[in-house]
């Protein structure tokens, strides 16, 4: 279980957490923006292209050169890529050491920075090599968001909206916070991040290795992942999740509470446009999704705030529903 400290401006906690770690990994963007935290850090190039076995080995090489021991703790100061690769380094160094997650992007604050899914990409497949290794501590300071680029905001917004569909309280908060979220209002974003952290940690504590309940965090991800991979990762992950959610919800509209669907679709359309990718291509990709069962494609659908359902479609049902859904979304 991860100890989570969350605050609007808790840079002193960030400093203290880093001082408690023997080694910090960050990226060149964060090192340039926050040099006070990166003086002795190992700096990787920002972006998904760094999430490779080579970068992992360079981190492990540096840890061993600096003589890190099993009792030492390391820190990940950055967004999703830094967290995923640093967490994985912590998972495998001396068969596992402690690590502290200090997420600096909205995506990492509401999703990847806690939960212990650590990985690198391999052979063109995202997160192909990885381990479940939860951070011992997470320090979530939303002040970091003041320097977040627009593209990263959109990315985090996708996962934030997804998480807010998982509880009545978070969903109400989201509905009442839409203008604040669009305007990046600090108090409003903080409340949303705090609520998402509660939901995510509750789910992860109940099902750390995704044997069941944790699958609810995959809303929008079947179509989202397929679009992301077919598109060559041109947009941010969260934007594909937004497209994935609107398409999957339209595909399974009969399973969703009408009032809820009527409210959530306009919200999704505020942040993303429907996909242009063909049904055939998306279906072909979705057929290799790890959630599938008996040759049927799995979609996780929120039927109402706080209640989800897994829907399984054959390839021909998927193609038919996708084509209809995209047509309706564009009309
Ligand atoms: N991002 C989904 C999960 O952590 O399970």
Which secondary-structure segment (H or E) carries 121?
A: strand 117-122
Regarding the beta carbon of 117 and ligand 1, being less than 6 Å apart is answered: yes
Residues in the chain: 331
pLDDT for the residue 246: 98
Regarding the beta carbon of 111 and ligand 1, being less than 6 Å apart is answered: yes
State the catalytic residues: 95, 117, 159, 200, 210, 214, 218, 221, 225, 237
pLDDT tens, residue order, the chain (331 aa): 999 999 999 999 999 999 999 999 999 999 999 999 999 999 999 999 999 999 999 999 999 999 999 999 999 999 999 999 999 999 999 999 999 999 999 999 999 999 999 999 999 888 999 999 999 999 999 999 999 999 899 899 999 999 999 999 999 999 999 999 999 999 999 999 999 999 999 999 999 999 999 999 999 999 999 999 999 888 989 999 999 999 999 999 999 999 999 999 999 999 999 999 999 999 999 998 878 888 899 999 999 998 999 999 999 999 999 999 999 999 8
Angstrom distance (rounded) from CA 97 to CA 120: 18
pLDDT for the residue 216: 95
Residue of 112, 163, 196 to mutate, ligand 1, most atoms within 8 A of C-beta = 112
Cα of 225 from ligand 1 centre, angstroms: 13
Regarding the beta carbon of 115 and ligand 1, being less than 6 Å apart is answered: yes
Angstrom distance (rounded) from CA 258 to CA 261: 5
Cα of 277 from ligand 1 centre, angstroms: 25
Cα of 21 from ligand 1 centre, angstroms: 25
* Sheet of 42-44, strands arranged across: 3-7, 137-141, 98-103, 73-78, 23-27, 42-44
Nearest atom in ligand 1 to the alpha carbon of residue 159 is: 1
pTM: 0.94
pLDDT for the residue 250: 98
DSSP 283-316: HHHHTT-TT-BTTBEEEEEEEETTEEEEEEE-HH
pLDDT for the residue 199: 97
pLDDT for the residue 261: 97
């Amino acid at each position: 279980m991860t100890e989570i400290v969350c605050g609007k401006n808790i840079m002193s906690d960030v400093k203290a957490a880093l001082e408690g770690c023997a080694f910090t990994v960050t990226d060149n963007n964060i090192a340039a923006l926050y040099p006070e935290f990166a003086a002795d850090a190992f700096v990787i190039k920002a972006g998904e292209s760094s999430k490779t076995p080579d970068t992992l080995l360079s981190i492990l090489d540096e840890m061993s050169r600096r003589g890190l021991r099993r009792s030492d703790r390391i820190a990940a100061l950055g967004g999703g890529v830094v967290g995923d690769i640093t967490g994985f380094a912590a998972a495998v160094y001396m068969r596992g050491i402690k690590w502290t997650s200090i997420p600096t992007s909205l995506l990492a604050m509401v999703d990847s920075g806690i939960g212990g899914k650590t990985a690198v990409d391999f052979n063109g497949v995202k997160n192909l090599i990885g381990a479940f290794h939860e951070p011992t501590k997470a320090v979530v300071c939303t002040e970091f968001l003041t320097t977040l680029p627009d593209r990263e905001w959109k990315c985090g917004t996708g996962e934030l909206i997804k998480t807010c569909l998982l509880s009545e309280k978070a969903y109400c908060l989201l509905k009442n916070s839409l203008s604040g979220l669009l305007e990046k209002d600090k108090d409003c974003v903080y409340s949303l991040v705090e609520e998402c952290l509660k939901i995510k940690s509750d789910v992860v504590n109940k099902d750390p290795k995704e044997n069941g309940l944790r699958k609810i965090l995959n809303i929008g991800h079947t179509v989202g992942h397929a679009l992301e991979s077919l598109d060559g990762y041109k947009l941010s992950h969260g934007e594909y999740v937004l497209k994935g959610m609107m398409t999957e919800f339209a595909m399974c509209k009969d399973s969703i509470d009408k009032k809820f669907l009527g409210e959530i679709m306009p919200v999704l359309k505020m942040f993303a446009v429907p996909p242009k990718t063909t049904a055939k291509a998306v279906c072909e990709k979705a057929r290799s999704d790890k959630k599938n069962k008996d040759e049927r494609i799995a979609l996780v659908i929120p039927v109402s705030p706080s209640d989800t359902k897994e829907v399984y479609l054959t390839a021909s049902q998927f193609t038919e529903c996708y084509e209809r859904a995209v047509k309706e979304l564009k009309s």
